[in-house]
Amino acid sequence: MTDVNLCYASVRALSELVSKKQVSPVEIIEAHLQRISETEPVLNSFITLLADEAQEAARRAEAMINRGNHLGPLHGIPVGLKDLFNTGGVKTTSGSRIFDNYVPIEDCTVASKFRAAGAILIGKLNMHQFAYGPTGENPDYGHMHNPWDPEKIAGGSSGGSGSAAASGQCTITMGSDTGGSVRIPSSFCGIVGLKPTYGLVSRNGLTPLSWCLDHPGPMVRTVEDAALTMNVISGFDPKDVASARVNIPDYTENLNKSIQGLRVGIVKEFFDAPLDAEVESIVRKAISHIESMGAEIHEVSMPMFEQSQAISGTILMCEAAAYHRELLRDHAEELYAPVRLRLESGLLITAADYLKAQQARALFNTSVNALYQTVDVLVGPSQPITAPTLLAQSVEINGTRVGTTAAVTQYSRPYNITGTPAITVPCGFSASGMPVGLQIAGKAFDESTVLQVAHAYESTTDWHLKHPDIAS
C-alpha cells in the first residue's frame, strides 16, 4: 500500500494492517505528516501541528502492539481535533489569537477518550473564530480552503476538520455542531459528518458557543469510521451537566442490516425552501436509490420549519453573547468583525425574546417528534448549494440571492433545536465537480438506525471513494 493509500484508508483497514503487523503506527503517522506537508500550503487546515509528539506517540503505540497489547480499532490512528477541544499541554486557541498562548492543563473528555483508545493526536485544526460562523473564515490563522476547489469555502465552523479529513491529512477529525458546524463542512468537503444526540458525547473541556445547542461529533470518510469513533467517544460524563445516562451500544452492530421496510420521511418544506436545481436532482436520485433498497418513502411536513432559523438564531446569539461577554468587553477590537457583530447583536436581545424562543423550541420539538410516529428517519439535502466562493456574503439559488449564512444553515439548524442525531453522507457531485451531501436524521439516541441507513446507501454507491486532486 502506497503512502497516499494509507492516508485514505479507513479506520478498519488501518486497524487490520496494524494488528497483522503489515503496517506500523509509525508508518501511518509518517505518511500522514507527508500528506500534510504536501497539502497544507493549499488548505490551511491546521492551527497547531504536533509532528514530533505524534511520531513519539506512534513509536509508543508500535511498541505496545508488538508486546501484544493492541487497544482496539483506533490504536495508532491519527486524529485531529478542532481547536476548541482542550488538550493538556497543547495550546487551544478557539480560532483566535487572543488565546494564542492558552495551554490547558488537562485534556477535555473527548481527547482523553481518544488517548485511552490509543489514537494519536496529530494536531489542532483550524476553525471559524470561536465557532461563530458557517463558512470557515479566520483572519487570525488564515481562511480554510475546500480541497475540491481552494477558491471555495471548506464550510464552518469546523472547516479545518472538514478539509483535513477530505484531503487525507487525518483519518478521524472532530468538530462541534451548534447550527450545522459538523455537517456543513462535511457536506461541502464530501465526507461523512455526524451530529450525535445532545448529551451523548461530552462537551467537558470544549469552548462553548451555545450551551443548549452545542454537539461534538466525528468528521470522517466512511460511515463505519463514524460508528467506530462513536464507540470510543460516547457515554456519560459527570463533568458535563447535560450528559445523558444511556446505554451505549456497539454502533457498528447494525451497519449491515437491511433497510427493507424502514420508513423514510421526506420533509416537504426542505424542498420548498431555496434549493439549487442541480443539488435537488442529485438528492432526489439518492432518495430513489434508498427506495430501491426496500425502504418505504413517505412525504411528511415540518410545519414550523420556516421558524427554525429564528428559534435557533435567537437562542444561539443570546447564549454566545452571555458566554463571551467579558471577551467582548476586553478584546472587542481584536475580534473578527463579523464575529464581533454577532456577539454585540446578542446583547441586544431581551430576556423575554430568549424565553419566547425557548417556548417556540418546545413547540417545534413536539411537532418534529410527532413525525417519528410515522417514520423511522428523515432524509433530505444536507445543503441547498455546493460550496460557495470564499468570503461570498450571498449566494444565488435558482436566480434568487440569499444570504450565505441563512442558506447554508437552513437544513442543519432544525436538528440542533431538537438535539437529535443527524448525519451527512456524500451522494454525488455537481457538474463543476463539487460534492453534494445527503442528510439523514433520526430519533433521540437512535444513532444506530441513522448509521444503518447511511451505511446502506454508502455501501451501494461509490461517492465516498472519490478524493480531491490537490495541487500543491
Catalytic residues: 82, 157, 181
d(CA 198, CA 419): 5
E strands of 257-410, at which residues?
263-267, 296-300, 377-381, 394-397, 400-403
Determine the distance from the C-alpha atom of residue 458 to the mean position of all C-alpha atoms in its chain, rounded to a whole number: 17
d(CA 72, CA 65): 10
d(CA 390, CA 59): 39
List 172's β-bridge partners, or say none.
79
d(CA 430, CA 434): 5
d(CA 156, CA 176): 10
Q: 462: helix, coil or strand?
A: coil
Neighbours of 359 (CB within 10 A): 11
Burial (0-12, 13-18, 19+ Cβ within 10 Å), 338: middle
Amino acid letter, residue 257: K
According to DSSP, residue 372 is labeled T
3-state secondary structure 186-239: HHHHCCEEEECCCCCECCCCECCCCCCCCEEEEEECCHHHHHHHHHHHECCCCC
The H or E element containing residue 185 is: helix 183-189
d(CA 362, CA 181): 22
Question: Which cell numbers hold the place of 271?
Answer: 424542498
Question: Which cell numbers hold the place of 433?
Answer: 465537480
The span from the first CA to the last CA of the chain, in angstroms, equals 22
Place of cell 499541554: 89
Neighbours of 122 (CB within 10 A): 31
Contact 404, 383 (CB under 8 A): no
Residues near 288 by beta carbon (within 8 Å), at least 6 away in sequence: none
The H or E element containing residue 62 is: helix 51-66
List 145's β-bridge partners, or say none.
153
